[in-house]
Amino acid sequence: MTRPKQRPLTLRDVSEACGVSEMTVSRVLRNRGDVSATTREKVLEAAKSLGYVPNQIAGSLASQRVNLVAVVIPSLSNMVFPEVLTGINQAFEDTPLQPVVGVTDYLPEKEEQVLYEMLSWRPSGVIIAGLEHSDATRAMLKNAAIPVVEIMDTDGTPIDAMVGISHRRAGREMAAAILKQGYQRIGFLGTKMPLDHRARKRFEGFTEALAKAGVEIEDREFYSGGSALAKGREMTEMMLQRSPDLDFLYFSNDMIGAGGLLYLLDQGIDVPGQIGLAGFNGVELLDGLPRRLATMDACRKEIGTKAAQIILERSQLPEDVLPEDPGHFTLASKISWGDTLRRYRR
């Protein structure tokens, strides 16, 4: 069975169907300028009955305006970036702007490719995760002459605007909280990802604050791939076998932290009496655990919303003006103490 591929409808088809010029049809369909109620009706009906869908490719080329916003993120496989996307989506609801997502798998070369591909659609703005990019990526971003918001992290110098939290400070604050509770023999468990700069910065902030108090991490363990919950379990078991004296475990994300927590509870170990725990991100999942893991909020959705708002504002600015305001926002991430960080009074 073969069938000729039908040609999509054009403005001209609608124009002919209702006896109104293409230009007027275009105006009606975009609610632009004044059109009499009568012709408006006629056009709308013709368009609907034909099933006309405007061609944005042609429209964007003609108007030199594209309602797309490029969103470049490293991953979709943990819950953190989907939540950022939710925030972005919400902020763009009821606006003409539309996010288009590209995933880099934490690889700088892929980031470059993905960005190049997206910029070739001439988006109205870019939201991109992180402050660390290849020279080529930075160059593209600068040359694009559109608003660029770097998100998640604010420890560094952005190309244009940035919205995020200070991961170094997050690490430091958690270290301070842990020390204040009297924990001294601390283990660190994280991902084996040299390219996850935010995890690295948290780690650096953490060790730095410990060092100032004369404390050093006693043991560390890294993983990659697989179920984070299961890995958290395994790593915790291995680490405690190796270093049974530890009294605190700091996990670089909540999922492995949750795995560690479940393991310790299984073993009948007193948490946080014998061992304290903390994670990072503030994921919703923690609400359902037998005990509330201490964590620190990464402000994911808020970051998405704010970044989208910045793009919105700037894309409405007069064409030839760049804003005075640098647009740098460090959101306040706070410790959730939960039940695993405050030592029992004895």
Per the CB < 8 A criterion, the answer to whether 35 and 28 are in contact is yes
Residue 20 is a binding residue for DNA (CB under 7 A): yes
| Stretch in the footprint of a copy of itself (CB under 8 A) among 30-38, 100-108, 158-166, 196-204 | 100-108
Alpha-carbon distances of 283 from 214, 254, 273, rounded to whole Å:
32, 7, 24
For DNA, the binding residues in 53-72 under the rule CB under 7 A are 54-55, 58-59, 61-65
Residue 21 is a binding residue for DNA (CB under 7 A): yes
Give 190's strand partners.
Answer: 222
Which residue is associated with the tokens 């405050």? 342
Residue 29 is a binding residue for a copy of itself (CB under 8 A): no
Residue 29 is a binding residue for DNA (CB under 7 A): yes
Residue 241 is a binding residue for DNA (CB under 7 A): no
Q: Where are the alpha helices (DSSP H) in 213-339?
A: 228-242, 254-266, 300-316
Tell me, rounded to whole angstroms, the distance of Cα 283 from its chain centroid: 13
Q: Considering the complex, what minimum distance in angstroms separates the CB of residue 48 from DNA?
A: 15
Per the CB < 8 A criterion, the answer to whether 278 and 325 are in contact is no
> CA 151 to CA 127: how far, in whole Å?
7
For a copy of itself, the binding residues in 157-196 under the rule CB under 8 A are none
Residue 325: count other Cβ atoms within 10 Å of its Cβ.
Answer: 10
Please count the residues of this chain forming the interface with DNA, following the rule CB under 7 A. 31
Give 73's strand partners.
Answer: 103
Residue 60 is a binding residue for a copy of itself (CB under 8 A): yes
Residue 79 is a binding residue for a copy of itself (CB under 8 A): yes
Q: Considering the complex, what minimum distance in angstroms separates the CB of residue 20 from DNA?
A: 5
Buried/exposed code over 80-105 (b: 16+ C-beta within 10 A; e: otherwise): bbbbbbebbeebbeeeebebebbbbe
Specify the pairing of strand 161-165 against strand 125-129. Answer: unpaired
> CA 64 to CA 31: how far, in whole Å?
18
For a copy of itself, the binding residues in 283-302 under the rule CB under 8 A are 284-290
Q: Considering the complex, what minimum distance in angstroms separates the CB of residue 57 from a copy of itself?
A: 5
Residue 33 near which of a copy of itself, DNA, none (CB within 5-8 Å, type-dependent): DNA
Give the residue with the Cβ less far from a copy of itself, 34 or 287. Answer: 287
Binding mask 118-147 for a copy of itself (x = CB under 8 A): -xxxx----------------xx--xxx--
> CA 69 to CA 113: how far, in whole Å?
16
Using CB under 8 A as the criterion, which residues of the chain lie in contact with a copy of itself when the complex forms?
A: 1-9, 51, 53-58, 60-61, 66, 76-77, 79, 82-83, 85-86, 89, 98, 100-101, 103, 116-117, 119-122, 139-140, 143-145, 226-233, 255, 258-259, 262, 266, 284-290, 319-322, 324
Q: Give contact residues for DNA (rule: CB under 7 A).
A: 7-8, 10-12, 20-24, 26-27, 29-30, 32-36, 38-40, 54-55, 58-59, 61-65
